[in-house]
Structure 1
Amino acid sequence: MLKSLIALAGAGLLTAACTTTGNTERNAVGGAALGAIAGAVIGNNVGGGDAGTGAAIGAALGGTVGAVKGCREDGGCGAAPANRRQYYDERAGRYYYYDTATGRYFWENGSPR
């Protein structure tokens, strides 16, 4: 049981490394895989010795923590907004800013300028 659980968690971890969707999804899958492994080990060695229940609890907790961490890395979930200097375009009547990470200009609402 434990070997198959470790193989399944390892496959999930490899899948998480290849995602292109973003930090939220990647960290959620990675956290769930690591949580499942840790939960299985702890569940097998402590209490009733039920590795399946420990893996399920660990996967749920790890996935939640990973998703929140990824969401914050993507700039959501209550993370502090980046301190950006805004400029005013008189012709368009709108504000815009320069994103140093991408080297591009964006309108105030986040759409490309």
Structure 2
Amino acid sequence: MNKAILAIAAAGLLASACASDGYGYNTNNEATRQGVIGAGVGAVAGAIIGNNVGDGNAGRGAAIGAVVGGVAGAVRGSSQDRANQNRRYDSARGAYYYCYPEGDCYWEDGRRR
């Protein structure tokens, strides 16, 4: 049980390194951040529940919890990322574009404005 929790904690720390952008371009990526947090919480909860069931499958419960928690966190974070965007309309071009709080703007097709 202790080895499983230590392995899960180590995996969470390694995954959290992916949540940051060393170049500073993508500092508000909530989908990644919340996905990592969800995976960590789900893994711990799954390990505890799997151990309490008594079938000795805390590792399997941790894996299932990590997947479910990670997906749930990523979906919630993605929704928050979309809410953080500011959608505007360019009447001259007749198209919508999005601007992030940092000042970066992109057309709907993903090209930089």
TM over 0.5: yes
1:52 and 1:105 map into 2 onto residues whose CA distance is 44
State the 1:39 CA deviation.
Answer: 0.8
| Count of matched residue positions in the alignment of Structure 1 and Structure 2 | 105
Does residue 101 (structure 1) correspond to residue 95 (structure 2)? The answer is: no
Cα contact 1:28–1:63 (8 A) shared by 2:
yes
Cα contact 2:46–2:58 (8 A) shared by 1:
yes
Unaligned residue ranges in structure 1 (runs of 5+):
none
Return the letter of the residue paired with 2:89: Q
The answer for the alignment partner of 2:52 in structure 1 is 45
State the 1:68 CA deviation.
Answer: 1.3
The answer for the alignment partner of 2:88 in structure 1 is 85
The normalised TM-score by structure 1 is 0.65
Unaligned residue ranges in structure 2 (runs of 5+):
22-28
1:54 and 1:43 map into 2 onto residues whose CA distance is 5
State the 1:37 CA deviation.
Answer: 1.1
Return the letter of the residue paired with 1:16: A
The normalised TM-score by structure 2 is 0.65
Greater Rg by CA: 1
The answer for the alignment partner of 2:63 in structure 1 is 56
